[in-house]
Structure 1
């Protein structure tokens, strides 16, 4: 199902990550850390990009958590 790919990412202040994705090259996504994983906090969406849907947000979260080594925590988050 992975249709979205990370093109660029970096850290911000306060345990946040800013990321750009190939399907949304003009939009900036901010992810914040809660417990042991990251979730999408904001999308600075550009009208030049397609509309970001829920399944895109879930893919973005999974990709970033996989990149950071937190995939296990992210996948088990609903079991808590």
Structure 2
């Protein structure tokens, strides 16, 4: 999966689009020092989003924002 497009929204949020789900918009919110998926505006034109897809999306966005280390160490906090 690849992050195809992203941009900032209000309130420390990011909207993102991914190549596997081109018709669905993913909203991520900043929690502590990393971004976490808040909601998905899922389109019936895309496949069903599963848990492993969510984790991959979060990792890609945090990597793009240079927060990958914070995201990977989140369970230690």
After superposition, what is the alpha-carbon deviation per residue over 1:12-42, rounded to whole angstroms, capped at 9, x for unaligned?
A: 0000000000000000000000000000000
Q: In the TM superposition, what whole-angstrom CA distance separates every residue of 1:16-75 from its partner, at most 9, and x where no partner exists?
A: 000000000000000000000000000000000000000000000000000001001000
Aligned length: 77
Give the Cα separation in 2 of the matches to 1:5 and 1:51.
17
Within the alignment, does 1:46 sit opposite 2:46 as a pair? no
CA distance in 1, matches of 2:31, 2:6: 18
- Normalized against structure 1, the TM-score is what? 0.95
TM-score of the superposed pair, with normalisation by structure 2: 0.99
Unaligned 5+ segments in structure 2 are: none
Q: Which residue number corresponds to residue 12 of structure 1?
A: 9
Task: Give ranges in structure 1 of 5+ residues lacking alignment.
Answer: none
Q: Which 4+ runs in 1 deviate beyond 3 A? A: none
**How far off its partner does 1:79 sit?**
1.0
1:25 matches 2:55:
no
